[in-house]
Amino acid sequence: MSPYDSDPADRFPVDRVVASAADGEDQAVEAALRPKLLDEFIGQERVREQLSVVLQAARQRGASPDHVLLSGPPGLGKTTLSMIIAAELNAPIRITSGPAIQHAGDLAAILSSLSEGEVLFLDEIHRMSRPAEEMLYMAMEDFRVDVIVGKGPGATAIPLELPPFTLVGATTRAGLLPPPLRDRFGFTGHMEFYAPAELERVVHRSAALLDVEIDPIGAAEIAGRSRGTPRIANRLLRRVRDYAQVRHDGVVTREIAAQALKVYEVDERGLDRLDRAVLTALLKLFGGGPVGLSTLAVAVGEESETVEEVAEPFLVREGLLARTPRGRIATAAAWQHMGLVPPLQPAAGRGPLPAQQELFGQGGAARPGGE
């Protein structure tokens, strides 16, 4: 087992409506919702612009483009973009993933059967085994692999020429890629979380494809709760559509979207039951912290890892929770979002609240303004 085998998404079953990883239903419908060409792909202006230049230049030269690495959190469109790359190049695409390639021989079999100009999509490339990775270095750089025949001292390496191909690697954890692998990509696209206006366009587009009638503020309501992630936007849209169909006349309005997402416990900011439980414990039981992770987890009734890897990343990203050396603390935004008032007592180790500073008199020598 290499450290690359461990991915939080695998260790925690996906049963949250705001999970960013794909569940079975997502996988079934995503193919239908994927944009097919670069022009249909919403947002990610920078990556789209860079990629369009890379692809157009390759088309003009009549050659395969450089290898492409797409990195970014789950559900932002890496798989979608890789298929778009093949479509834009009018090239066939072969799809595999790091965990599927356990032995170098598995990779050799795939590489040696590629046709000229084919796109090889290697999802979760950070989870490939080390020997396969080393074979990939040579294949990417020299379009050649050494196939080892036999075992022990009698083993011989038979070099095998490969046709030119384009590797498109996708990873949620670019930091785990060994530098020699990262360096062999000619272009790396860093995917960013989407702005609400972009997610609104995603929701409108998907609603049209799913034949759901939706008004603009209904779409905005869903977009605002989607955590910057198109996959979540599409999933929330499907849940809202169900609710609109069963409880109303099928049309998605702001009101219906808000009611439906209340049923699914997704709040205005996209926090779900777990996120809110963590914040509630931190605020109500520990006065906003600092409190240690394991204590917080016990208070919520979850494993430390679940709190740390499932709930916290989004809370930190939203500026609701901070991880400090002394423990987790809630920010002012967290108090406000949960509709709670911070206690007047300063929490241990933190400076006095502004209201109390005044009680201690004007500008004591030890506390000049601005410090």
Ligand X SMILES: Nc1ncnc2c1ncn2[C@@H]1O[C@H](COP(=O)(O)OP(=O)(O)OP(=O)(O)O)[C@@H](O)[C@H]1O
Annotated active-site positions, please?
A: 78-79, 123, 172, 231
Within residues 203-242, the interface with ligand X by CB under 6 A covers 230-231, 234
Our CB check for ligand X shows the closer of 98 and 289 to be 98
Span interacting with Mg ion, options 32-40, 72-80, 258-266, 334-342, rule CB under 5 A: 72-80
CB of 295 vs ligand X, minimal distance in Å: 32
Binding residues with ligand X: total (CB under 6 A): 22
Within residues 70-129, the interface with ligand X by CB under 6 A covers 74-80
Is 79 a binding residue for Mg ion by CB under 5 A? The answer is yes
Task: In whole angstroms, give the CA distance from residue 160 to residue 158.
Answer: 6
CB of 75 vs Mg ion, minimal distance in Å: 8
Within residues 263-322, the interface with ligand X by CB under 6 A covers none
CB of 208 vs Mg ion, minimal distance in Å: 23
Task: In whole angstroms, give the CA distance from residue 68 to residue 45.
Answer: 17
Indicate the residue whose CB is closest to Mg ion. 79
Task: In whole angstroms, give the CA distance from residue 154 to residue 247.
Answer: 72
CB of 31 vs Mg ion, minimal distance in Å: 12
Span interacting with ligand X, options 34-42, 144-152, 261-269, 291-299, rule CB under 6 A: 34-42
In Å, the largest CA–CA distance within the chain is 86
Is 22 a binding residue for ligand X by CB under 6 A? The answer is yes
Q: Which of 17, 18, 19, 42 binds ligand X (CB under 6 A)?
A: 42
CB 263 within 8 Å of CB 232: no
Q: Work out what residue 22 binds among ligand X, Mg ion, none; the CB cut-off runs from 5 to 8 Å by kind.
A: ligand X
Q: Work out what residue 80 binds among Mg ion, ligand X, none; the CB cut-off runs from 5 to 8 Å by kind.
A: ligand X
Binding mask 244-283 for Mg ion (x = CB under 5 A): ----------------------------------------
Q: Work out what residue 23 binds among Mg ion, ligand X, none; the CB cut-off runs from 5 to 8 Å by kind.
A: none
Indicate the residue whose CB is closest to ligand X. 77
Token digits for 43?
Answer: 């947002």
Q: Which 3-state string (H, E, C) describes the chain?
A: CCHHHCCHHHHCCCCCCCCCCCCHHHHHHHHHHCCCCHHHCCCCHHHHHHHHHHHHHHHHHCCCCCCEEEECCCCCCHHHHHHHHHHHHCCCEEEEEHHHCCCHHHHHHHHHCCCCCCEEEEECHHHCCHHHHHHHHHHHHHCEEEEEECCHHHCEEEEEECCCCEEEEEECCHHHCCHHHHCCCCEEEECCCCCHHHHHHHHHHHHHHHCCCECHHHHHHHHHCCCCCHHHHHHHHHHHHHHHHHHCCCCECHHHHHHHHHHCCCCCCCCCHHHHHHHHHHHHHCCCCCECHHHHHHHHCCCHHHHHHHHHHHHHHCCCEEEECCEEEECHHHHHHCCCCCCCCCCCCCCCCHHHHHHCCCCCCCCCCCC
Is 21 a binding residue for ligand X by CB under 6 A? The answer is yes
Our CB check for ligand X shows the closer of 28 and 53 to be 28
Q: Tally Cβ neighbours within 10 Å of residue 35.
A: 18
Q: Work out what residue 276 binds among Mg ion, ligand X, none; the CB cut-off runs from 5 to 8 Å by kind.
A: none
Our CB check for Mg ion shows the closer of 230 and 327 to be 230
CB of 70 vs Mg ion, minimal distance in Å: 9
Our CB check for Mg ion shows the closer of 9 and 316 to be 9
Task: In whole angstroms, give the CA distance from residue 288 to residue 7.
Answer: 30
Our CB check for Mg ion shows the closer of 26 and 200 to be 26
Our CB check for Mg ion shows the closer of 194 and 264 to be 194
Is 135 a binding residue for ligand X by CB under 6 A? The answer is no
**What single letter denotes the amino acid at residue 85?**
I
Contact positions vs ligand X (CB under 6 A): 21-22, 30, 33-35, 41-44, 74-80, 172, 202, 230-231, 234
Contact positions vs Mg ion (CB under 5 A): 78-79
